[in-house]
């Protein structure tokens, strides 16, 4: 039996094509995936991300606990509402999950974890809590639902529907959030974050109110978009997908995520010793296909002068009108190099680039 978000009935009434996504019954598109993609790049689109899980970490030991539990340094979080992207690692330095940590007070944090890893993540946090005898409460929040409204006109459309939130959310810088207590939808958390390379908000509301909010946003001109567009948008933005671009057996240092790992401060964290003991021999890079005759997909062999690698994610980019991919290749491969990718029975040339490929409505790599 597939899990359902509180918006499941709305998706089905809208004629969405539904698929099994990591055990969740989720919309892949509502019609044209390309139109949904372009709506986010040029106007405003929205995604049901209620399959993802907010987890509240509270108590007198909350900051100390997260300081050790995640690879980035939560001591960077000093202003209430500020957010931090980080990986949570296992003892071998592999990525348990990538997540966002929101800070509200030294004894109150909220993290948002991926749907497919949610149970594993909560179990891992609880294991660390017991091991360290940490003075924290770890509370999964399945009572909350989330809508991601993304695109250059996303914020103004949200304010049109939620005018009571404008005063608190308009000053937000990227990777910041605000909580608003008194709205028609109860207590709302608005985050200036996203997974598309566009501006916008991710909105958390009580699950019982999310269907009404979704329908009002749609009436205000926000286009519903499914997992298909979400994947092409995030790949154009050079954003990793857990389970494809990194996993429990992959180091963040080999996943273009070194910037999320704080190895410089003296604090210890789970996986730090393993990362320090194992220098990265591979790297995650972007590829743009040069030859005609195929589309880049995951798990295609990449032939380079320094040795072979493999694509981890690949698609046709609607913004670039070209095929793009992320690939894990030997550390010596450099941007501008031309490599060959095995596509079916052919070896097609591709150029190595540094992601992102597209953001803020336009291409940012040269073809």
Domain ranges within the chain, ordered by starting residue: 1-278, 281-367
Q: How far is residue 217's CA from residue 203's CA, in Å, rounded to a whole number?
A: 12
Please state which architecture CATH assigns to domain 1-278.
2-Layer Sandwich (3.30)
Q: Give per-residue pLDDT as tens, 274-305.
A: 999 999 999 999 999 999 999 999 999 999 99
pLDDT tens per residue across span 43-66: 999 999 999 999 999 999 999 999
What's the predicted TM-score (pTM) here?
A: 0.97
Question: Which residue carries 């990986």 as its tokens?
Answer: 87
pLDDT at residue 367, as a whole number: 82
98: tokens are: 């990538």
Q: What is the pLDDT of residues 181-193, one digit of tens each?
A: 989 999 999 999 9
| pLDDT averaged over every residue in the chain | 98
Identical fold between 1-278 and 281-367: no
Conformational region of residue 59, where left means phi above 0, alpha means psi within -120 to 50, and beta covers everything else: left
DSSP string, 230-270: HHHHHHHTT---BTTTB-TTS-GGGTT-GGG---SSS---T
Q: Which CATH code fits 281-367? A: 2.40.30.110
């Amino acid at each position: 039996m597939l899990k359902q978000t509180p918006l499941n009935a709305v998706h089905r009434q809208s004629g969405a094509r539904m698929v099994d996504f990591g055990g969740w019954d989720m919309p892949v598109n509502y019609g044209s995936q390309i139109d949904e993609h372009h709506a986010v790049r040029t106007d405003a689109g929205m995604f049901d991300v209620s399959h993802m899980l907010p987890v509240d970490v509270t108590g007198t030991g909350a900051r100390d606990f997260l300081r050790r539990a995640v690879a980035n340094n939560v001591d960077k979080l000093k202003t209430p509402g500020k957010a931090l992207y980080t990986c949570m690692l296992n003892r071998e330095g592999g990525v348990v999950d990538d997540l966002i940590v929101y800070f509200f007070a030294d004894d109150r944090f909220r993290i948002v974890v991926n749907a497919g890893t949610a149970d594993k993540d909560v179990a891992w946090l609880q294991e660390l809590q017991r091991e360290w005898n940490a003075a924290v409460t770890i509370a999964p929040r399945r009572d909350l639902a989330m809508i991601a409204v993304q695109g250059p006109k996303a914020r103004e459309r949200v304010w049109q529907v939620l005018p009571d939130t404008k005063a608190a959310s308009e000053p937000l810088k990227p990777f910041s959030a605000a909580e608003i207590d008194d709205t028609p939808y109860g207590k709302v958390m608005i985050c200036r974050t996203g997974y598309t390379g566009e501006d916008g908000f991710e909105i958390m509301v009580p699950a019982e109110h999310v269907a009404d909010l979704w329908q009002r946003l749609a009436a205000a001109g926000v286009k519903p978009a499914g997992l298909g567009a979400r994947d092409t948008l995030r790949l154009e933005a050079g954003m990793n997908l857990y389970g494809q671009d990194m996993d429990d057996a992959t180091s963040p240092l080999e996943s273009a995520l070194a910037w999320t790992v704080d190895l410089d401060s003296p604090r210890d964290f789970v996986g730090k010793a393993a990362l320090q003991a194992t220098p990265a021999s591979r790297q995650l890079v972007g590829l743009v296909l040069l030859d005609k005759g195929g589309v880049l997909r995951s798990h295609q062999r990449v032939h380079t002068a320094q040795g072979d690698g493999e694509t981890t994610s690949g698609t046709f980019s609607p913004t670039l009108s070209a095929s793009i991919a992320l690939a894990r290749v030997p550390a010596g491969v450099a941007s501008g190099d031309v490599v060959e990718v095995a596509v079916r029975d052919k070896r097609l040339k591709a150029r190595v680039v540094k992601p992102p490929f597209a953001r803020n409505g336009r291409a940012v790599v040269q073809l």
